[in-house]
Amino acid sequence: MIKVWIGVVSLIAANLVQGLVIKRFDEKAANAPEQIRIALGKEPDSMTITWSTLLALSNPSTVPKVNYGTNPFYLTVYQNASVNNFVYKKGSQYIYTAVLPNLQPSTIYYYQVGSSEGWSSTFNFTTFPKGPNFPYTVAIYGDLGYLNASSLPYLKQAAKNGDFDFVIHIGDFAYNLRTNDGQVGNEWLNAIQDIAAYKPYMVIAGNHEEDKGHNFTNYRNRFVMPVNNPYGDNLFYSFNLGPVHFVGLSTEYYAFYETYGQQLAINQYNWLINDLKQANANRATNPWIISYQHRPYYCSNNQTSECEFYVDSLLKDGLDQMPGMEKPYLDNGVDLIFWGHFHSYERLYPIADNEVYKNASDPYNNPKAPIYITTGAAGCDSGHGTFDDPPNPASAIRLNKFGYTLLHVYNQTHLHMEQISVDDNGKVVDDVWITKDIGYQFNH
């Protein structure tokens, strides 16, 4: 009998060290934490932890917190959490946020969230190395629903396998976070927890986050991004990671300007000009600049001819007091832009002002213009995207298959991009290297 108990204890310990979810039973756990997710913090040595409970803590003196440490059996460090009572129509929940500061680089941290009224299982994450030049992989995708989340099982397995280090989700979550008074958003965040509790989950809003006149309230309340703009607006932000400066932007401020006015897009643009100027001056440290946004302005999908729709020209060239997005990308040599919105995958040749640069033997070596990637095929209930024929001259490859993108950042001169098709059981269906010489930057 003693040997049996020793075996059980050993098995539990082994599973815990490997970061597998082990349920913790607590007589007060009826209001246990859920929707647990992490995101990169404002400082490079910090991590933001967010979770929810559906009921308020019963004792006003109870302190919600994150217990964490480098030993899963001794979570001796803690950070108290702030709490936000988020009410949306008839739905209500309590959203908690804690920032873990001064984390050591290249280190596995274990953590639990909650309070004396109920604790989560133990999760873990690994911090990035220190310095400007280290390799990593990011999974990038948009348009991941709840009912037909085709890529989700593959993404969960890939996260468990360590195939990527963090996620960029470029808009359209759950279809929709607001549905059923926010309950669909709760279910979707619980569904992605096996990824988001272990890998930083970075997001930007899409059109389905607009909330029908409620100004993106579900997005604003549920997600905490490393906001570095003076407006405290989490619909746009930037961060550095290794050799890359990442910029997340809202295309929806253009799409919904008649509802919310032009000033939100103007604020973003003014911030963007300064952010890209600083990033461009810092090329020696972060030579790659990569942007991500929800809607495209270059594409060849035929869904209601939206590739030539009014909002696309608005995004590209601007209107009235709202300048377009393409000019600052060209002025500051932005290397790569990801977007979704269309439920398909498309890789373009370098393109600027509608001029396509594909005549070189390798147009992706020292490219002469930004490279645009549509990756909105993670899985949604409206089915696959379709394309116009004949193909757009700017299009290098078009795929109406569900899947996601892996961007491997190797160093200051080499990026490697793969498109994973879940319709083909995880097969790589597009594979391209993007390379440039030290100090190279296109000029327009």
- Mean pLDDT for each consecutive 10-residue tract of the chain (444 residues)? 41 41 42 95 97 93 96 97 96 97 98 95 97 95 95 98 98 97 97 98 97 97 98 98 98 95 96 97 97 93 64 86 94 97 95 92 96 96 77 89 97 98 97 97 91
How would DSSP label each residue in 374-422?
Answer: EE--SB-TT----B-SSPPTTEEEEE---EEEEEEE-SSSEEEEEEEET
- Cβ atoms of 404 and 338 closer than 8 Å: no
Kindly state the DSSP code that residue 215 receives in the 8-state scheme.
Answer: T
Cα–Cα distance, 123 to 19 (Å, whole number): 6
CB 307 within 8 A of CB 301: yes
**Three-state SS for 273?**
helix
For residue 395, what are its two tokens? 């299009």
Give the span between the Cα atoms of 4 and 199, in whole angstroms.
35
Phi, psi of 314 (to 5 degrees): -65, -45
Tell me the β-bridge partners of 139: 167, 406
CA 398 to the chain's CA centroid: 23
Which residues, in sequence order, are bridge partners of residue 159? none
Angle (nearest 5°) at CA 289 between 206 and 318: 50
Q: What is the length of the chain?
A: 444
Pairing assessment for the beta strands 144-145 and 123-126 based on DSSP bridges: unpaired
> According to the model, what pLDDT value does residue 30 have?
62
| DSSP H helix total and E strand total for the chain | 10, 28
* pLDDT at site 156: 98
Domains identified in the chain and CATH numbers: 24-126 (2.60.40.380), 136-435 (3.60.21.10)
Helix (H) or strand (E) holding 119: strand 118-119
247 by Cβ neighbours in 10 Å (0-12 / 13-18 / 19+) ranks as buried
Per-residue pLDDT, 308: 66
Q: What's the rounded Cα separation, in Å, for the pair 326 and 251?
A: 12
φ/ψ of residue 81, rounded to 5: -110, 145
Neighbour tally for 175: CB within 10 Å: 19
Cis amide prior to 390 (ω within 30 degrees): yes
CA 421 vs CA 158, 239, 296, 426: distances in Å: 13, 29, 21, 5
Identify the residue whose tokens are 């129509």. Answer: 89
How open is the CA angle 339-242-413, to the nearest 5 degrees? Answer: 80
187: phi > 0 → left, psi -120 to 50 → alpha, else beta; which? alpha
Q: What is the C-alpha to C-alpha distance for residues 443 and 354, in angstroms, rounded to an integer?
A: 15
Q: What is the pLDDT of residue 50?
A: 98
Tokens 């010489």 belong to 437
Q: Model-level pTM?
A: 0.92
Place of tokens 């643009």: 269
